[in-house]
Chain A
Amino acid sequence: MKITFSKAINFAIRDSMRDDNKVICMGLGATDPKGVFGTTIDLEKEFGSKRVFDIPTSENALTGICIGLSIAGYKPLLTHQRLDFALLSLDQIINNAAKAHYMYGGEICCPLVIRMIMGRGWGQGPTHSQNLQMLFAGIPGLRVVMPGTVQDAYSQLRASINSNDPVIFLEHRWLHNSESQVVYDFSDQDLVTQSLVKSGEDITILACSYMLPEAIKARRILKEKLGVTADIINFRSYRAIPDECLIKSINKTRKLIVADTAMRSFTIADQLSNNIRDLLIDGNSIDIRILSMPDIPEPTSHFLTKGLYNDSYTIISKTCELLSKDCRGLINRDTELKPHDVPGEWFKGPF
């Protein structure tokens, strides 16, 4: 049976809570009728209000409270409807959760999952659309995961909750309605590995979060129209250490595009590229291109966000650039793609 990304999140929380009665789920709106875009629906009914509950608008304190629960043996899952709201809790995340295990010499663990939803489009604007993965990935002690598929939504969230470390779980709003079948399974590896999603010959595309479905779409068009095939790798663990499947792929193609949702100066892609060049034989000859957002706050006006985001179109253009192919006429961005500021027909605003 196919389920949506948000249902997969919902099931992952449910199954984790069934398996471990120390798991606690909280967040603004966690028990309201919309259930955080459907991800926390029905949980309170099954597990009761001691384990699933709404909270005050107090992001910083609540994060610290979760840390307290955590070091006392509970496994809190805290959800923010926007990453931007979690910025109020940077103190607790960076000065406390990330370092608890380290600075007490390994005496305590801090299992804590913080879900942050991020997005783009529909006038989310400068303070409702930030994709700041690097902010967290740059802090030792935090794991950062960015699910790109419905399967990831399930297994990565389960692995995150199961982990004994703080995990920043970054969920793209534009993925919530994507659908697929799911294997209800997970392992520790889900937190640290990438995965090969499509296999090809000519180029490697490493795509994170919402860039993944766009990369898959780009691959299809490239294959149909130019006979070019790409390896698509799901950049689901946001770290600078190249995974085995990535190394293998680049060894084959010697060409890499990294598609990130972050700003140019806020992507881990440079660090990753350096590591790849160091690791591989004749690494400096590998062609690498990075697709990211420009270093500007996201403006609100849809007139100003036009052409700002990366999508299948920009991935195709970059691929053609790398392969010295002509990309003209492959896809008409204005007529063949949905309006640039919505994830699909299902989205009618306002957030």
Chain B
Amino acid sequence: MERFEGSIQLELLKRMRRIRDVELRIAEEYSQGEMRCPVHLSVGQEAPSSALSLLVYPSDYAVSTHRGHAHYLAKGGDLNAMIAEIYGKETGCSKGKGGSMHLIDTTVGFMGTSAIVGNSIPTGTGLAHAAQLNKTGQISIIHLGDGAIEEGSFYESLNYAAVKNLPALYLCENNFYSVYSPLNVRQPKNRDFCFLAKSIGAKTFSGDGNCVISSYKTLKQAVKYCRSGKGPTFVELKTYRWLEHCGPNNDNELGYREEREIEYWMNNDPIKKAEARLRKRPEKDHYKNYCQALKKEVDDAFEFAKLSSAPDIQSRSKTIFSTEQ
């Protein structure tokens, strides 16, 4: 990667490292049985959200899916509040009511994640509509997986965004699987997501979702286009989930993904590649220090979560209506 600014490379790597360390720590602690909710980890898929995080502002909106930890963190969501939420604590970002699949941090424009596939696509499109009405130059990021492309809400939302020229950026992390189902049992062979989105009326971009620089360059163009007010933008970044669909372990033994395939993608680790690039650069010491500080940040977040109080049991019957706090 000639001539790509060192400071940006460093920043991208730091963000990926942070997401990975948090996710791996969740995986490590999960068997303790204190995080009693399903978790969908993003290990292996850190590049797209890390790249995006350098390109958006807290005033931009974002929504995501069941696999939302990385997106939440990349948008600037509070780490302590996320871990506490997974532990079901009072200090969690949803006060224990939502868990890992319902993360929110409105202070940084992260407007929620949904456990229902495709459910947040229209919401994000509505946020884009609000952004347009606001005339503040905000954009709305809609994170989605390859599986969500199969839901009607995707087509209906994209159509609406095209009709209204909305500043909506649909960011699809294509990891080739929906749970244990490969793309070929769900979509026609050689389906090109970008071609599809383009036909509906979006401007499309694609890049290597396992290379943070490629992801960054792709998203930079996409965000620029989207922010210019020209209309909906669709980005496909191909990447790969290392662990099981839901839970802390790897599930290679199930055999729905070929050993060779898994190996190929794990050797193509976006973080290792970025670290290798850094090795020849002056910023490497800074990175080393960062990794140490990060360890403490993650330790602290888990300690914060574990030490936080359980929510008051009465709170479960509250906040059903806006008149109840």
A contacts, CB < 8 Å to B: 28-29, 31-34, 53-61, 84-85, 87-88, 122-128, 294, 296-297, 299-308, 341, 349-351
Contact = CB atoms under 8 A, between A and B. Distances in A.
Interface of B: 30, 33, 36-39, 88-89, 92, 94, 96-102, 114-118, 147-148, 150-152, 178-181, 185-187, 246-248, 254-256, 310-311, 313, 315-317, 320
B305 to A, nearest CB: 12
B186 A299 contact: no
Contacts of A55: 185-186
Contact of B38 (A34, A303, A304, A351): A351
A350 B66 CA distance: 13
B323 to A, nearest CB: 15
Contacts of B100: 123
B39 A126 contact: no
Contacts of A305: 316
Contacts of A128: 38, 101, 115
B182 to A, nearest CB: 9
Given A29-B180, A351-B38, A58 B151 contact: yes
Contacts of A341: 36
A271 to B, nearest CB: 24
Contact of A303 (B94, B101, B247, B311): B311
A350 B187 CA distance: 27
Given A57-B151, A297-B320, A299-B316, A124 B97 contact: no
Nearest to A308: B316
A54 B186 contact: yes
A304 B319 CA distance: 14
Nearest to B92: A301
B145 to A, nearest CB: 9
A296 to B, nearest CB: 5
A126 B320 contact: no
B181 A350 contact: no
B316 A32 contact: no
Nearest to B119: A127
A349 B148 contact: no
A126 B98 CA distance: 7
B116 A84 contact: yes
A304 B88 contact: yes
Given A57-B186, A301-B97, A302-B88, A125 B316 contact: no
A32 B97 contact: no
A294 B116 CA distance: 23
Nearest to B309: A303
A56 B145 CA distance: 13
A349 to B, nearest CB: 7
B186 A56 contact: yes
A57 B255 CA distance: 21
10 contacts: A32-B181, A123-B37, A123-B99, A125-B115, A126-B98, A299-B96, A300-B99, A303-B96, A303-B311, A304-B313
Given A32-B179, A33-B255, A61-B152, A124 B38 contact: yes
Given A53-B185, A303-B310, A351-B246, A122 B179 contact: no
A57 B152 contact: no
4 residue pairs, one from A and one from B, having the closest CB atoms = A123-B37, A301-B88, A300-B99, A301-B96
Given A34-B254, A127-B115, A88 B151 contact: yes
A335 B155 CA distance: 52
Nearest to B248: A350
B178 to A, nearest CB: 6
Nearest to A58: B150
B152 A60 contact: yes
A302 B320 contact: no
Report which residue of B94, B96, B178, B247 has the largest number of chain A beta carbons within 10 angstroms of its beta carbon: B96
A53 to B, nearest CB: 7
Given A28-B179, A55-B186, A57-B151, A299 B97 contact: yes
A57 B118 contact: yes
Contacts of A122: 36-38
A20 B316 CA distance: 48
B39 A350 contact: yes
Contacts of A297: 97, 320
B279 to A, nearest CB: 37
A301 B320 CA distance: 16
